[in-house]
Chain A
């Protein structure tokens, strides 16, 4: 894990030895700063492991008098957190797959064929992704109601895919465009249909970019708040972010439960990040807008 992030962020290879002599303050200062930076997260972990009684009696700042997993047990047995995790994972998985498939097809068409106005189309699609979501919320809600899919996970998936597809198209286009033409030419000469070229040549070659985008897209969709807030009403369909907020609103005082919910809600994106950190960071660098 540690080595990976160095590689991904890219340590400069050419080291300069003589420049660091006067930096005696470096380690004390950076260590203090890093610890301060991690402290909030550490504090949350600590709170989540305390019992409600402990917090009420001894206050939020006290060190735990006893460690317990009660808050986590409560989350999954009483608060319907497992269902929320299921909803989020379903929306995320479907959303990511659909986004990438649609992004890849349009990127393939725009990058390898002489489609008229392909540059304006590409920029227009990217532009759609950069719009402030506020300008879309009301009409999208109306569309969902008209289609009868308001308050369904499907609405959430379609909204996420529609909003994201421009960005995925843009990134994949940049990637596909740089694959040497000879590779595609060879497949065409062999008589492969465009569909076959797409599936057996373009997609495999785009794998690194697809992995980067899958990592990014899954955290974006999983972490979404505003679309879920707008399109989902019933508690049984709440994704994790909505349940975390609901807990925060209705369990004032039970900070251990709120902290536990926030922590569990952070785990799936964190796992994706640590597994795909290299792709993740390089993905962020590609004209990121989020």
Chain B
């Protein structure tokens, strides 16, 4: 038995024993037995063994996402590669067929900051999974036919998530408005134009640059033998992969200059039944635990958006401007300075003046947080929710591996998950005041609104643009 759960329990048990009447968690830090080793070629391997879990999860992170698409007109490359990696190799012409008898839950996803390939299965299949994964990382059958055939599904994915989804569409517009030069300006899926014009050679250059050992790390969690796995990984993933990086990607993304004044945009959706939307983004710093800023921003998220928070109650229950559950958002954890989001879905039939009322409520809520220290009970509530949700998310091997890996992308510190709860616990009312009055201020804000289509609004939108 062990180890992760026992230690997790130890934390929980301590936390449980010291919870006060108001529910404050005063436990010692989370202490998961996370270990980190490096292969000979520098690939970092982060492991957490827990034999009580019925599965093991193997996850390969490529430290590149849409943030790294620095070449003009070449967006969506990180994402299309996520697709292409399922196109097979010389040895295994079909990736899914290679793993089919394992019953592995496998998939991949791409974000601004990284691309992740993950498989979870019964412990007995880890060796096979590692072998097939190494095979595609080292010998992908990346030809023009595979590339051409994958453009259609990517287009369809974009149609589904962005072009026919008002929330996805407005989020893309918000990023475009909030950033002027940094690559967070474009969404991970890529712009429609860039996907249509995407060339095989572009993808090839991206692949050669980022799909090599110095940009890769591996996380394994669950039921497995650490020593055996490490030895096997050295054989499978070790050595020189012989890829030459494309010089076009040598320059990191341009730093986003400070925003000088608030920005605003309006979009008209293509049907008349979609409810009005209001999205805002405030520039915030990159994720870090070096100071309390980011944890304070994350607790601010709970102060603003929990069901019982004053802002949520005002908008959804008193003024009844937003749909139930129609106000949310929070701080995005980014490698580079990211955004703190407000996302409001208004009630059907809401008018433009209602959007203004929502904005006023948000602004008033931020002013309250900036001008007066938040009460101890409120802060505890915000903290307890973050801590509880962190713990709730450690149920499955796949979730544990992903939690560890996502934080490693941002900090290059495998122990970040173990440090999170202490960070939340260290946040004071003054920290909340400081981050709200520093970052969540009008000049730092971009606002996008979306209205359903009417003839009159069509004209207004063209004027606004």
A in complex with B: no
Which residues does B use to contact A, with CB under 8 Å? Answer: none
Which residues does A use to contact B, with CB under 8 Å? Answer: none
